[in-house]
Amino acid sequence: MSRLQDKVAIITGAAGGIGFEAARKFGHEGAKVIIADFDEAKGIESEKNLLEEGITCKFVQVNVADRESVDTMVDKALAEYGKIDILINNAGITRDAMLSKMTLEQFQQVIDVNLTGVFNCTQAVLPSMVEQGKGKIVNTSSVTGTYGNVGQTNYAAAKAGLIGMTKTWAKELGRKGINVNAVAPGFTMTAMVSAMPDKVIDKMKEMVPMQRLGKPEDIANAYLFLASDESDYVNGHVLHVDGGIMM
C-alpha cells in the first residue's frame, strides 16, 4: 500500500521548487493534495501537470500572511476532500539585506509570510485535526534558523521562531494525536539558487561535506517521512537535511 493512501495534504508554496516536488511525491504515494500558493498562474500550471501524472490534486490560491485568505483555503480543502490529515508549512520568501540597510518593510514582509503565515495555517487546520484525533504538521525551518546567516536577519529570525513554535506545538498537541516536526534544509538547488553565478554555487558546494547541494526531492523525502505513519512517535524534532554542512 502507498505510504499516504487516502490522506489529504495541504502543502503551502507548492506551485514550484521544493513544495511542488513534495506535492508530486505525496500524490504518487496516494495522497490527495491541495496545492496552496500565492502565484495563481504557476499554481494552475502545477495542478495541470500533476493531474496529467494521475495525481488527485486541487490548486487553491492563498496568501498565508492573510488570515482570511488562509481560512478560505482551509474551507475549500475541507469542501473538496472532507478532512485534512497533513499540513506542510513550506511557503517562504526572502528579502535579504545587511542589518544596516534592511528596511522595516523587508523585515516585516518575511516575518509575515515565514512566521505569522505558519501560525495562520496551523491554527486554521487545527479544529479538523483535533476532531479526527490525528494529524501531521511539518514546518520548514532552515539551517539559517539554527546558525544565522549574513544578510538574513529577517529570515533567520523567522526560521528560528519556527523551531520554537514547532517544539511548543509538539508539547501542546501531542496528547491530541497530532505530531509537529520541522525540517531544516541546507543549500538546496531551487530556481532561486540556480540563478546565482556558478562561482557562488561552487563555493556553496565546497562548504558541504557531501560536496553537492540538496535537490528539492531530498527535502520532499524528509517531508514524506514526517507526514507518514512511519513517524508516529517522532514529535518536536528538527530534521536537518543539509548534507552535513552544520555539525
Q: What is the CA radius of gyration of the chain?
A: 17
CA distance 46 to 23: 9
Extract the C-alpha cell encoding 111.
516575518
DSSP-assigned beta bridge partners for residue 179: 136
Residue (of 196, 210, 201, 202) closest to 245 by Cα position: 210
Name the residue type at position 2: S
Query: How many C-beta atoms lie closer than 10 Å to residue 5's C-beta?
Result: 10
Query: How many C-beta atoms lie closer than 10 Å to residue 115's C-beta?
Result: 22
CA distance 96 to 99: 9
CA distance 224 to 217: 10
Catalytic residue list: 155
